[in-house]
C-alpha cells in the first residue's frame, strides 16, 4: 500500500463505499474534508506523509477553519472525518497511535427542528389538485411523508411490493442499508390506492417490483423532483421556514410526541441509531407544554 497521504485517503474512501456501504453523498463529504486537511498540511512545503501528522497539525487545521469563518457544525464534522480516517490507519496497521483520539469536538448548538402546526396539515394535504395524475401523485407523496416520517431517499426507493397491506406496514431501507417496517394510516393508503388506480396498477404481487412513485416517463421519480414539488406545497403553510421534505419528517415526529408517543418508539420509526438523535424533538414538545401552561394556569 502506498504511504502518501493522498493515496491513503483514496484507500479509505474505497473502504467506506465497498465495506461500510456509505452513501455517495457521505463519501463526497469525507473526501472534501480530507482534501481540505491535506491542502492545509501542504501549504508551502513538500508533500507530507501521513505518519508525520501529529495532534498539533490537526488542531491548527481546525483553528484555521474557524478563521475561515466555518461554523462549529462544519468544523465538528471535519474533525469527525479526520478521527474516522486515523481510526482506519490504526486498523490497517499503518500507524500505531491514533493522534486524533484526544482532540475534543467543538460544541455544536442544536437547532430545534421546524414543524407544521396540526391546524395547517389539512391545508397542506389538500393543496395538490386531484384532477391530474401529478396532483394525485403529489397528494400521495405528502400523505406518505406525514404518515411514516420517512427520509426523502427512503421514499423515492419504495416499490409497490414494499407494502404489507394486511399489516398496514411499509418496508424501507434506511441509512447503512438497515431495513425497518413503519406503520401507515388509512388516509395515506387511500391516497396511494387512488394514485395506483390512475396508473392502472394496484398492490397485487404482479406489480411488486414497480417503483411506487414515477415521473411522466414511468421511471422512478428523482429526489430532486420530489424536493421541488414538495417545496412548492409546503411554502403555502410554512412561510419563512426551511421548507424541504424533511420538514414533514420533523412534523411527523413532533406530532407523535405531542400526542403522547414514547420517544423510543419514535426513535425506531424514524430509523435513528441513537436516542440522542430523537431527543431534539422533545424540546419542541416541552416548549409547547410551557406555552400551554402559561396560557392556561392562573399564575402562569
Tally of domains within the chain: 2
What was the pLDDT predicted at 140?
98
Q: Is the pLDDT of residue 291 over 80?
A: no
| 113 grid coordinates | 427542528
| Domain annotation covers residue 96 | no
**Statement to judge: residues 145 and 264 lie in one domain:** yes
**Statement to judge: residues 147 and 264 lie in one domain:** yes
| Domain annotation covers residue 110 | no
**Statement to judge: residues 253 and 128 lie in one domain:** yes
The mean predicted confidence, pLDDT, of the chain is 88
pLDDT (tens digit, 9 = 90+) per residue, 116-149? 988 899 999 999 999 999 999 999 999 999 999 9
**Statement to judge: residues 127 and 215 lie in one domain:** yes
8-22, 30-44, 117-131, 286-300: range with highest mean pLDDT: 117-131
Average pLDDT over residues 36-60: 81
Average pLDDT over residues 40-51: 72
Report which of 127, 74, 108, 82 is spatially closest to residue 233, judged by C-alpha positions. Answer: 127
What was the pLDDT predicted at 1?
42
Report which of 277, 280, 259 is spatially closest to residue 268, judged by C-alpha positions. Answer: 277
Confidence of residue 251 (pLDDT cuts 50, 70, 90): very high
40-54, 90-104, 285-299: range with highest mean pLDDT: 90-104
**Statement to judge: residues 260 and 149 lie in one domain:** yes
Residues 6+ apart with CB under 8 A from 101: 83, 86
In this predicted structure, which of 127-141, 189-203, 277-291 has the lowest mean pLDDT? 277-291
| Domain annotation covers residue 129 | yes
**Statement to judge: residues 142 and 280 lie in one domain:** yes
Average pLDDT over residues 238-267: 86
What was the pLDDT predicted at 85?
93
Calculate the alpha carbon distances from 254 to 71, 85, 107, 135, 190 in Å.
27, 36, 25, 27, 24
Containing structural domain, residue 194: 118-295
In this predicted structure, which of 40-54, 69-83, 165-179, 227-241 has the lowest mean pLDDT? 40-54
Average pLDDT over residues 252-261: 91
Average pLDDT over residues 67-90: 90
**Statement to judge: residues 219 and 278 lie in one domain:** yes
Q: Is the pLDDT of residue 239 over 90?
A: no
Q: Is the pLDDT of residue 166 over 60?
A: yes
Confidence of residue 46 (pLDDT cuts 50, 70, 90): low
**Statement to judge: residues 195 and 153 lie in one domain:** yes
User: Is the separation of the CB atoms in 254 and 278 below 8 Å?
Assistant: no
**Statement to judge: residues 79 and 129 lie in one domain:** no
Kindly calculate the radius of gyration of the chain based on its CA atoms and give it in whole angstroms: 23
164-178, 205-219, 244-258: range with highest mean pLDDT: 205-219
What was the pLDDT predicted at 12?
92
Residues assigned a catalytic role: 151, 175, 246, 249, 272, 281
Q: What is the domain-level CATH number for residue 276?
A: 1.10.443.10
276 versus 29: the higher-pLDDT residue is 29
In the 8-state DSSP scheme, what is residue 93? Answer: T
The number of beta carbons lying within 10 Å of the beta carbon of residue 209 is 10
Q: What is the domain-level CATH number for residue 64?
A: 1.10.150.130
| Domain annotation covers residue 111 | no
Q: Please classify residue 137 by burial: count the beta carbons closer than 10 Å to its beta carbon, then call 0-12 exposed, 13-18 middle and 19+ buried.
A: buried
| Domain annotation covers residue 219 | yes
Taking the C-alpha atoms of residue 56 and residue 73, their distance in angstroms, rounded to an integer, is 21
Average pLDDT over residues 81-96: 91
Amino acid at each position: 500500500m502506498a504511504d502518501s497521504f493522498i493515496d491513503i485517503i483514496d484507500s479509505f474512501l474505497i473502504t467506506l463505499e465497498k465495506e461500510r456501504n456509505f452513501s455517495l453523498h457521505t463519501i463526497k463529504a469525507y473526501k472534501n474534508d480530507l482534501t481540505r486537511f491535506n491542502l492545509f498540511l501542504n501549504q508551502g512545503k513538500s508533500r507530507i506523509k501521513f505518519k508525520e501528522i501529529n495532534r498539533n497539525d490537526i488542531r491548527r487545521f481546525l483553528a484555521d477553519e474557524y478563521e475561515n469563518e466555518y461554523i462549529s457544525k462544519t468544523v465538528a464534522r471535519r474533525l469527525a472525518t479526520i478521527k474516522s480516517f486515523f481510526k482506519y490507519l490504526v486498523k490497517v496497521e499503518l500507524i500505531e497511535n491514533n493522534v486524533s483520539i484526544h482532540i475534543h469536538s467543538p460544541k455544536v448548538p442544536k437547532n430545534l427542528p421546524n414543524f407544521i402546526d396540526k391546524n395547517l396539515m389539512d391545508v397542506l394535504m389538500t393543496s395538490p389538485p386531484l384532477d391530474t395524475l401529478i396532483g394525485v401523485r403529489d397528494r400521495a407523496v405528502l400523505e406518505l411523508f406525514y404518515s411514516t416520517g420517512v427520509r426523502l431517499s427512503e421514499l423515492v426507493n419504495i416499490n409497490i411490493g414494499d407494502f404489507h397491506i394486511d399489516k398496514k406496514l411499509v418496508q424501507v431501507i434506511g441509512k447503512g442499508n438497515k431495513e425497518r417496517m413503519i406503520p401507515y394510516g388509512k388516509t395515506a393508503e387511500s391516497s396511494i390506492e387512488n394514485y395506483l388506480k390512475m396508473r392502472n396498477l394496484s398492490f397485487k404481487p404482479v406489480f411488486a417490483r414497480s417503483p411506487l412513485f414515477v415521473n411522466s416517463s414511468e421511471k422512478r421519480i428523482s429526489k430532486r423532483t420530489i424536493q421541488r414539488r414538495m417545496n412548492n406545497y409546503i411554502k403555502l403553510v410554512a412561510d419563512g421556514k426551511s421548507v424541504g421534505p424533511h420538514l414533514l419528517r420533523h412534523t411527523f415526529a413532533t406530532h407523535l410526541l405531542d400526542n403522547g408517543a414514547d420517544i423510543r418508539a419514535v426513535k425506531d420509526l424514524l430509523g435513528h441509531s441513537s436516542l440522542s438523535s430523537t431527543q431534539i424533538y422533545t424540546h419542541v414538545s416541552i416548549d409547547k407544554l410551557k406555552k400551554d401552561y402559561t396560557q392556561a394556569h392562573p399564575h402562569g
